[in-house]
């Protein structure tokens, strides 16, 4: 046999079936994790954006607690925010500025009895 061909055969490598299955499982698990987490973080961004918008609204600067909560509920309905509502908001004034805080937890099932527990803390001033 020609020595060039035999050395080329020894150097040629590919993905074995166990390697392919292992990488497939890893890629599928990462995809499932991403599909569960991305919507939760998109909703968090919408909540944060709503808090900042309401806190910077000059019409609501001197409004009562009820009006501020109602404004959040209206914005939540438009932005499809389901995890929290206006009653979950902590409203305070700091240095003459309206500051809105909200703390909440989201539990997302992965599969079987395994779930993700994610704690969020959003505020209009950070």
- The tens digit of pLDDT for each residue in 76-120 reads 999 999 999 989 999 988 888 889 999 999 999 988 899 999 999
Residue 1 has pLDDT above 60, yes or no: no
Query: Percent of the chain at pLDDT above 70?
Result: 90
Sequence-distant (≥ 6) Cβ neighbours of residue 21 within 8 angstroms = none
At 5 the pLDDT is 60
The SS3 call for residue 14 is coil
Q: Is 7 or 112 the better-scoring residue by pLDDT?
A: 112
Residue 49 has pLDDT above 90, yes or no: yes
Q: Is residue 3 pLDDT above 70, yes or no?
A: no
Question: Nearest to residue 97, comparing CAs of 120, 125, 70, 69?
Answer: 125
CA distance 42 to 37: 9
Task: Give 27-42 pLDDT, tens digit per residue.
Answer: 999 999 999 999 999 9
pTM of the model: 0.79
Contact 88, 104 (CB under 8 A): yes
């Amino acid at each position: 046999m020609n020595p060039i061909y035999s050395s080329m055969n020894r150097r040629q490598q590919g993905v074995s079936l166990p390697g392919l299955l292992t990488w497939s499982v890893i890629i599928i698990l990462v995809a499932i994790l991403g599909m569960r987490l991305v919507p939760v973080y998109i909703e968090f961004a919408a909540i944060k954006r709503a808090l900042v918008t309401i806190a910077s609204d000059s019409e609501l600067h001197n409004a009562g607690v009820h009006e501020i909560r109602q404004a959040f509920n209206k914005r939540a309905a438009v932005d499809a925010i389901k995890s929290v509502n206006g009653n979950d908001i902590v409203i305070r004034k700091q240095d003459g500025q309206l500051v809105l805080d909200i703390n909440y937890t989201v539990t997302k099932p992965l599969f079987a009895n395994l779930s993700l527990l994610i704690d969020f803390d959003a505020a209009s001033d950070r």
